[in-house]
Chains A and B, each alone.
Chain A
């Protein structure tokens, strides 16, 4: 009997107390937007790229100015593939490397026989692309041609 009376008192206090509380509520607006990758690479052939010296002996020549850019926070990786200057079944192999725009031409130790890779930070970066080749001097006469594939990927 005594405990029942106590319960009723607590209920009364609870009701009166809540009448003084201030009400509140919340709603939410969701926002979003997308940013596209700006990854790009462009190469401008040098004047000498189509008139390479194919006389006997090791040669190092700049063949392109390369511009690459990205908005990726982690930057990008440029890949350039080595290859051959070819004419009617005769090949003159070349290797590839790149240096900073306007830097001194590389010596013959920095070239890659297979794939040359280099990285660049977010933003726009200019590079000079060089090849190393070594004609024997006994190749047949004619025009020798080749190409270098440049590929960029976001890191």
Chain B
């Protein structure tokens, strides 16, 4: 009986906010043009649609990791990330952050995730791969 009393006091103390992120990969994201066969240029490519929702009263914080496309024995191809509103124009080169992207938003948002990368003109042949993590959390 004592246990029942404790639960009834604790349950209404707070409504939990459960932030959510869904990243839907863009077409071509597994077939990126990596040059490396005698010439190279800077690429800015949309890689995912992001759906962010269920933020708490203060909104949500989104952190997106940058990194490198890598393969064993090859020079990595570093990339940077940037986000824009869903359907907005492609970001310019200066919109990309060096290490990782971090931004705040309200209870929900629809974003487009882009990467920028510049391969070397000669890259070791093979398959290069990477993962981008999109982490969302309630803002305190």
Contact = CB atoms under 8 A, between A and B. Distances in A.
A123 B20 CA distance: 47
Interface in B20-51: 20-23, 25, 29-38, 47-48
A26 interface: yes
Interface in B126-140: 126-140
A102 interface: no
A34 B30 CA distance: 9
A12 B2 CA distance: 10
A16 B7 CA distance: 10
A23 to B, nearest CB: 5
Q: How large is the interface on B (under 10, 10 to 19, 20 to 34, 35 or more residues)?
A: 35 or more
B37 A34 contact: no
Interface stretch (B84-92, B103-111, B117-125): B117-125
B137 A23 contact: yes
A73 to B, nearest CB: 4
A16 B9 CA distance: 9
B45 to A, nearest CB: 9
Contacts of A71: 36-38, 122-125
Interface string A113-124: 000000000110
Contact of A31 (B18, B19, B38, B131): B131
Given A38-B38, A73-B75, A28 B138 contact: no
19 contacts: A19-B14, A20-B14, A22-B56, A23-B56, A25-B20, A25-B135, A28-B23, A29-B25, A29-B29, A32-B31, A33-B127, A34-B34, A35-B37, A35-B125, A38-B37, A38-B125, A71-B124, A72-B125, A73-B124
